[in-house]
Amino acid sequence: MGAALPPAAAGGMPAINESALISAVDVCQHFGEGDARTQILFDVCIDVVPGQLVIMTGPSGSGKTTLLTLLGALRSGQTGRLRVLGRDLIGMDDVGLTEMRRNIGFIFQLHNLIDSLSAISNVMMSTNLTDLPKPEARRRGVALLERLGLGHRIEYKPSALSGGQRQRVAVARALVNRPRLILADEPTAALDGKSSVEVVGLLQELAVADQASVLMVTHDNRILDKADRIVSMVDGRIVSDVMVKEQVLICEMLRKIEFFAALGTAELSQIAEKMRPRRFQKGDVLVRQGEMGDKFYLLRDGQVDVMVTDNQGEKRVATLEAGNYFGERSLITGEVRNATVVGGGTGTAYTLDKPAFDAALSATPTLKEQLQKGYFSR
């Protein structure tokens, strides 16, 4: 699992994330005109960084398909900011949108292959849009189909393939140009369980592992465990955005912290959900001595140096590593920070703001008292 994290959007205005494949800020979309005008998307913000398999769920009518078609440059966006693969989609003309799509792989609920073309010709309908020389394109298409277990079906037309095989051809067609972004709409809806897991596994193996990202609308809970991240939408709003795998990691780290150790898994994951990643470089100051504390930090990766300044000047008192935490004391005691914490290299820390931290502690009141007693007595 790479360091695929959402941006530090917890506080302040959300901003366009330049390193993300998708960065949507306050995207709203309406359908219809006049009295019939209804809003489908409400201030949707989402960033998708490279190397994620994002599953988007939600009841039908929640706007997830609308969002998918917006991200895929399949319809023109109305308001907000929407950057996909480095280009602003809102306000882009039809020709621009059409050209934009060439950089995105699409997989549909139905395979949508061209009936009159063989598997390899279908795959090459994608490469035809690139400058790739035909023999090279064909070689690549064949290799991909072989990789997908269709080496013996290359010249077969869709009518001679099974449902799973057709969808695998569709996957090959979406992947052959090695797009950095793949959008899929219920790609497993027409497949049996085995084929579903297989197809998603292949997406993960062939795209996500290569730092591409897959955004998949699905209700298929057979494949939920493959997701790096699950985004839920209800009534045109993103109601939850969970980094599933990251979540597990944070919970494991939290569990090892003595004052959270007493909490159950449910409470831990609630805390984890509220934590926001903060990336830092060498020299970045995370906590400054003498300032009021407003966040609790859990170091996910990288290392930080803890510096204390006294009469003799500044000196390093400790170096913290992944799994270590800091910044809790000031939150508990209400005093100023007693040390400065500086990044010792590139890394990520998860932060929990004071209200959430307090809420977590109050989940076990006795623990809170003990802790407070302990810190005040020092």
Partner 1 sequence: MVRIAVALAYRQLTHRGAKLVGALMGVSVAIILMFTQLGFQGALYDSAVSATRAFNADIILTSKEFQTMAFPWPWMPMHLLYDAREVQGVASASPFYATTLQVTNPADGRNLTSWLFAFDPESPVFGNSDINSQIGTIRLSDTAIIDRNSRNQIGLIAAKVHQTGRVDVELPAAVRSIQPVLKLEGTFHIGPTINVDGNIITSDLNYYRLLGVPLDRVSLGIVRVAKGADPVAVQHALEQRLGTQARVFLKQGFIRNEMNFYARDTPIGFIFDAGLLVGVIVGIVFISQVLHGIVSDNMREYATLRAMGYKQVFFLILVSAIAVAIALITYIPSSIVSYFVYDLAASATKLPMVMKPSYMIEVFLLVVTMGMVATFLSTKKLKQADPVDLF
Token pair for 267: 């409470």
Per-residue mark of binding to partner 1, 146-175 (x: CB under 8 A): ---------------------------x--
Interface map 119-148 toward partner 1 (x if CB under 8 A)? --x---xx-xx-------------------
Q: Does 38 bind partner 1 (CB under 8 A)?
A: no
Instruction: Name which of 289, 305, 280, 282 is nearest 340 in CA terms.
Output: 289
Residue 168 tokens read as 């695998």
* 106 near partner 1, rule: CB under 8 A: yes
- Residues 294 and 183: their CA atoms lie apart, in Å, by 39
DSSP 151: G
Tokens matching residue 314: 């500044």
Strand partners, 55: 216, 230
Stretch that binds partner 1, among 67-75, 287-295, 318-326, 329-337 (CB under 8 A): 67-75
CA distance 229 to 5: 10
Among 18, 34, 36, 95, binds partner 1 (CB under 8 A): 95
Q: Does 218 bind partner 1 (CB under 8 A)?
A: no
Is-contact 255 262, C-beta < 8 A?
A: no
Residue 178 binds partner 1, judged by CB under 8 A? no
When computed from its CA atoms, the radius of gyration of the chain, rounded to whole angstroms, is 24
Q: By CB under 8 A, tell whether 75 contacts partner 1.
A: yes
> Binding partner 1 by CB under 8 A: which of 109, 211, 247, 338?
109
Give me the residue label for tokens 């369980």: 193
Candidate ranges 18-26, 63-71, 247-255, 281-289; the one touching partner 1 (CB under 8 A): 63-71
Hey, which bits of 49-191 come out as E strands? 53-57, 79-84, 87-88, 104-107, 181-185
Residue with tokens 């998307």: 41
Closest distance of CB 112 from partner 1, Å: 4
At 375, the amino acid letter reads: Y
Q: Hey, what are 304's tokens?
A: 């930080």
Residue (69 or 346) nearer to partner 1, CB: 69
Of the candidate spans 33-41, 105-113, 143-151, 204-212, the one that interacts with partner 1 by CB under 8 A turns out to be 105-113
Contacts to partner 1 by CB under 8 A: 65, 68-69, 72, 74-75, 95, 98-102, 106, 108-110, 112-117, 121, 125-126, 128-129, 173, 185
